Amino acid sequence: MKYCFGVDIGGTTVKMGLFEKTGEILDKWEIVTRREDEGKAVLPDVAASVAEKIQEHHLKEADIIGIGVGVPAPVTEDGVVKASANIGWGYKEVKKELEELTGFSVEVGNDANVAALGEMWKGGGEGNSNIVMVTLGTGVGGGVIVGGKVIIGTQGAGGEIGHMCVNYEEVEVCGCGNRGCLEQYASATGIVRLARRKLAQDKRETVLKAENVTAKDVFDAVKAGDCVAQEIAEEFGKYLGYCLANIAAITDPAVIVIGGGVSKAGEVLLPYIQTPFLERALFTNKGVEFRLAKLGNDAGICGAAKLILDEYSS
């Protein structure tokens, strides 16, 4: 049997998994992300943890295919990161450094792209090689997969779905510096923004309160039949569904997978996205399936494992 490691480096913890080549997870664990000193300990910590687990599981080094890694930053095809604020890194040759530290083959990708690969492999997109994955969290991330391969792009910045402009009239500024980005409406914070705007002008009765309203509150209220909440969900879904219709015109996916914290609202979410999608999708794309992500926090380590397995088999 051959094995590989999937590593998902985040700003607080590094999630790690030991996989069989077939995809079965044998072990998973976390280590702390030591961001101090420009995060210089992060890769050595990963290398040490890999070495430990090899011992613990009595594996032979010759049976290790390699290590796949997801990083919260654009990553070029040769595994270089220009900067990652979340980890404290400046320019870093992640692939090269980790290969030197471990002696194993390493493949590196952007974390959202890698999570999409995980969902394609073992999650909501299973069985399809053309998927769009949207991660609705604090921000909106994404991964677009075409013919089984993530769109990486010239600088590793492919799949930046959250920064497609969906409203040219927006006056508030997005974190990226532009105005009207999808992230301003479809992230957890975006939904709160929509809710606050709505609650400030809508005088109907609602269980929602403008102070401290969360995306979860909105979808809980939706489920309880609250009309005001349903209209907030409709607005959210319109921005997201229209944007996905435009993405579908370019990549003609079989499945669109909705993940991230917001997707914990469950199946109730999907019609709010699919209805406006169908309103705007090109006729060839009307059959696209909408599914919820399945892997939760494991999407990153699974996709990272898939990244190195694909490299090995190619």
Interacting residue ranges for a second copy, rule: CB under 8 A? 74, 77, 128, 130, 144, 146-147, 149, 151-161, 163-165, 168, 176-178, 242, 245-247, 249-254, 280, 282-285
CB-based contact 49:57 (threshold 8 Å): no
Nearest distance, CB of residue 155 and a second copy, angstroms? 6
The set of residues, in sequence order, having a beta carbon less than 8 Å from that of 239 and lying 6+ positions away, is 166, 167, 182, 185, 186
Alpha helices in 75-163 (DSSP H): 94-102, 111-122
* 43 vs 133, beta carbon nearer a second copy: 133
Question: How far is C-alpha 173 from the geometric centre of its chain's CA atoms?
Answer: 23
Nearest distance, CB of residue 70 and a second copy, angstroms? 17
3-state helix, strand, coil in the chain (%, to 5): 45, 25, 35
Nearest distance, CB of residue 244 and a second copy, angstroms? 11
* 49 vs 246, beta carbon nearer a second copy: 246
Count CB-CB contacts under 10 A for residue 86: 16
* 43 vs 161, beta carbon nearer a second copy: 161
Whether the CA torsion 94, 100, 102, 107 is positive or negative: it is positive
The arrangement of strands across the sheet holding 149-150 comes to 149-150, 140-146, 131-136, 255-259, 289-292
* 107 vs 217, beta carbon nearer a second copy: 107
* 8 vs 183, beta carbon nearer a second copy: 183
Nearest distance, CB of residue 177 and a second copy, angstroms? 7
Nearest distance, CB of residue 203 and a second copy, angstroms? 27
Nearest distance, CB of residue 278 and a second copy, angstroms? 11
Closest among 98, 86, 8 to 47, alpha carbons compared: 98
Enumerate the β-bridge partners of residue 290.
Answer: 256
* 31 vs 151, beta carbon nearer a second copy: 151
